[in-house]
A and B are shown apart, each in its own frame.
Chain A
Amino acid sequence: MGPLPARLSPPTTSCCSRERPGGTRRGPGLRPTGREEAVLPEREHLSRRSACSSSIPQDFYSDSPGGYEINLDHRKLKTPQAKLFTVPTEALAIAVATEWDSQKDTIKFYTMHLTTLCNTALDNPTQRSKAQLIRAAVKFLDTDTVCYRVEEPPALAELQKNEWDPIVAWAEKRYNVTIGSSTSILGPNIPASTKETFISHLASYNMWALQGIEYVITQLKSLILSMGLIDRHITVEKAVLLSRLEEEYQIQRWGNVEWAHDYDLCELRARAAAGTLFVHLCSESSSVKHKVLQD
């Protein structure tokens, strides 16, 4: 299940709605109109432009209390489950505040990926434990995109070999595991030891970062590509290209359809970039070590 969009607690005279496929819910202060009840994919209502700032109640990071809040028009941002919206690092808070600041006349929740990720981390709506998240992530390896090969057409099979073999080889070397690839409909046969390695590697990330990792994996449909991103081995553009290799092949053959292909491409890039950034901002630590100059 993907992350849920954010809910804004609006100032009383503004008119904001929560966007969600399949319907909307009215918050306090909304003017009811007939359209509210219709089932529409996304609609935006006029809202007052909110000036955001991230304020700092405490400036250390801890697992529960403390962290950075986001203020919108002097009101504190809350998650969809009405918890106080707090993020662990200042960089992440600024990025989220920037997302809110970028909204102009209407609030487009589908552009606010970092906010959505934070909401998911705070609310954990699927109620999964760390172990369950890791299990879900590693399970993707069984049907990892870059391991799942075609035999026909030969041009595509060749393209997959040329583009995907290097990244699989990188993962095998980096994590000292055997992965391989397969043209069987059952997918590759991943040894248990390989899964164990990834399970213990992912266990070293905190819960927030894991939400981000699992998100990137579900978007790219590949654990290997996601680790390539997390380990800064490939760029977001490259990861998305590799994830969409078959689509790109078909586009080259049959032509591009802007309102579908480019739309999906931009959306996947945005989500993968947001997820990667989220993981790094949740697990960053910086320290300055002074080196002694040697004569």
Chain B
Amino acid sequence: WRGGEVSRHVPSSWQVTSEKLCRAQQELHFQAATYLCLLRSVREHAALHQEYHGKGERSPEEVAGLVGFRLPQQPGGKG
């Protein structure tokens, strides 16, 4: 994961102001916290998905392989 682009963009929109109470600062903080929540939740959700989510059915080839068979090759397709 390349964080370069994201971290390059964020500082360029910061401006040093003479404001003591900066509403833009609060907005930026909220945006950063929201983005952090997004990244963290996506990562955790993907981890849970990986661990618990079903893998789906086996293909016919795999099922045949379970009992030691191979499916026949039918170059012309099925009848």
Chain A residues proximal to chain B, CB less than 8 Å: 33-35, 38, 40-43, 53-54, 90-91, 94-95, 97-98, 101-102, 108, 110-111, 113, 232, 235-237, 258-259, 262-263, 266-267, 269-270, 273-274, 276-277, 280, 286, 288, 291, 293
Contacts and interface: CB of A to CB of B under 8 A. Distances in A.
Given A53-B5, A102-B1, A291-B17, 17 more contacts: A33-B59, A35-B56, A35-B59, A42-B53, A91-B13, A111-B42, A113-B38, A236-B33, A236-B38, A262-B44, A263-B45, A263-B49, A266-B45, A270-B45, A273-B38, A291-B18, A293-B18
Contact of A95 (B35, B45, B51): B35
A98 B34 contact: no
Contacts of A54: 5
Contacts of B26: 232
Contacts of A102: 1, 42
A235 B33 contact: yes
Q: Which 4 A-B pairs have the closest CB atoms?
A: A266-B45, A273-B38, A270-B41, A269-B41
A274 to B, nearest CB: 5
A71 to B, nearest CB: 13
Nearest to A233: B30
Nearest to B40: A269
28 contacts: A34-B61, A35-B56, A38-B56, A38-B57, A41-B56, A91-B13, A98-B1, A98-B6, A113-B38, A113-B42, A235-B30, A235-B34, A236-B34, A236-B38, A237-B37, A258-B48, A258-B52, A263-B52, A266-B41, A267-B41, A270-B41, A273-B34, A273-B37, A273-B41, A276-B34, A280-B34, A286-B24, A288-B15
B38 A270 contact: yes
Given A40-B56, A95-B6, A113-B38, A280 B31 contact: yes
- Judged by DSSP, the binding face of A is helix
Interface string B2-40: 110110010001010110000010110011011101100
A236 B41 CA distance: 11
Nearest to A263: B48
A90 B8 CA distance: 12
- Judged by DSSP, the binding face of B is helix
A254 B17 CA distance: 52
Interface residues of B, number: 36
Given A34-B61, A38-B56, A91 B9 contact: yes
Contacts, number: 101
A236 B51 CA distance: 25
Contacts of B77: none
A24 B64 CA distance: 24
Contacts of B17: 291
B72 interface: no
Nearest to B27: A232
A236 B13 CA distance: 23
Contacts of B38: 113, 236, 269-270, 273-274, 277
Contacts of B42: 102, 111, 113, 266, 270
Contact of B52 (A98, A235, A236, A259): A259
